[in-house]
Amino acid sequence: MTIARERPTLEAVARRAGVSRATVSRVVNGSTTVAEPIQEAVRQAVRELGYVPNLAARSLVTQRTDSIALILPESATRVFSDDQFFPGIVRGVSQELEAADKQLVLIMAGSAASYDRVERYTTGRHVDGVMFASMHGVDPLPGTLARIGIPVVCSGRPMGRGTPPVPYVDVDSVGGVAHAVRYLLDAGRQRIATIAGPQDMVAGIDRLAGYRNELKGSRRRSIVANGDFTRESGAIAMRQLLEDDPSLDAVFVASDLMAHGALRTLREAGRRVPDDVAVVGFDDVEIARYTDPPLTTVRQPIIEIGREMVRQLLRIAQGEEVEEALILQTELVVRESA
């Protein structure tokens, strides 16, 4: 007959360590007010007895779940496509949360109904903080959560001006794109077009602004087609640009995945890259190294964006003040397409 082993209790740990139950509770719950030798004695007793905290009970006492949500307002199909932006963000977030002994809750919300569910879940305080990435349009949820005291950080500047302002981590898209367009101008390109990203997203808006600002300074006109950051939209937009201006000799594309589609269209049209048309992308995801030819692109530190979002969120959770905007720098990576 098998005899079930009793689960070690907080009291048993206290007896083994020679301290009070309250002291064990403080150490287990992460308090820093207990002297280090006593903390070590408690940790040793925990290891010897194989004590495992009751997380549900601890959550009731501490009002913490030790879980952080990352919300992607996109469909699962989009998130798990071959766009390496989302895996990069998740990787950075996961690395930093693991270092902080926190659990990631990944939530995708690609429809109005699913977003309503997300709102109920997050406002119900099932997580200790919430991060948003890939937001579309003016989203009231980050501001709602901030107003009820839930720590919130966004990837990318939230559209609209909410109260209170929601902290965000972003890259200098305007400056990065301006650098790329200036590179094309310095190479002697005369008719520089762009495939812009979605104009309901800050990344799409800022990258188009960087392109237009730099061309305006050089007294050249804008040649614009719009995509949605997918490969197919890049291919379609490139066909539109060739119809609108057959003499174009360069194109800045607002994402590497769209640039991959644009390269396919140029090849089908018999245009040589970079001899006839130079192509520059944005992101520097893995595919940029394997396009034909390898893609010149603006690198954004995708993994670091995820890590910085977590760092900012944990500072807020600890009651620290953070800057509203943390802006990371981009870098032009020159390969063979321009």
The fold of the 67-171+302-329 domain, in CATH, is Rossmann fold (3.40.50)
Cβ atoms of 261 and 234 closer than 8 Å: yes
Enumerate the CATH 1.10.260.40 domain ranges in the chain, comma separated.
Answer: 10-53
- Predicted local confidence at residue 58, as pLDDT: 53
Taking only the tens of pLDDT, the chain with its 338 residues reads: 444 456 778 788 899 999 998 888 888 777 778 888 898 998 898 888 877 766 545 544 545 678 999 999 887 777 777 667 889 999 999 999 999 989 999 988 877 787 788 888 888 888 999 999 988 888 888 988 888 889 999 999 998 776 678 999 999 999 999 999 999 999 999 999 999 999 999 999 999 999 999 998 888 889 999 999 999 999 999 999 999 999 999 999 999 999 999 999 999 999 999 999 999 999 999 999 999 999 999 999 999 999 999 999 999 988 888 989 999 999 999 999 99
How is the beta sheet containing 325-328 ordered, strand by strand?
103-108, 67-72, 129-132, 152-155, 168-171, 325-328
Enumerate the CATH 3.40.50.2300 domain ranges in the chain, comma separated.
Answer: 67-171+302-329, 173-299
We find that the CATH architecture of domain 173-299 is 3-Layer(aba) Sandwich (3.40)
- Predicted local confidence at residue 338, as pLDDT: 94
- Predicted local confidence at residue 315, as pLDDT: 92
- Predicted local confidence at residue 76, as pLDDT: 77
Residue type, 277: V
Task: Classify residue 259 by its DSSP letter.
Answer: H
CA pseudo-torsion sign 278, 225, 325, 85: negative
Q: How far apart are CA 257 and CA 285, in angstroms?
A: 8
Strand-strand pairing, 67-72 and 103-108: parallel
CATH match of 10-53 with 1.10.287.130? no
Residues facing 224 on adjacent strands: 194
Using one digit for the tens of pLDDT, what is the confidence trace for 145-161? Answer: 888 889 999 999 998 77
- Predicted local confidence at residue 177, as pLDDT: 98
Tokens for 157? 């500047």
Q: How far apart are CA 325 and CA 169, in angstroms?
A: 6
CA dihedral 134, 140, 143, 147 (to 10 degrees): -150
- Predicted local confidence at residue 299, as pLDDT: 97
- Predicted local confidence at residue 319, as pLDDT: 87
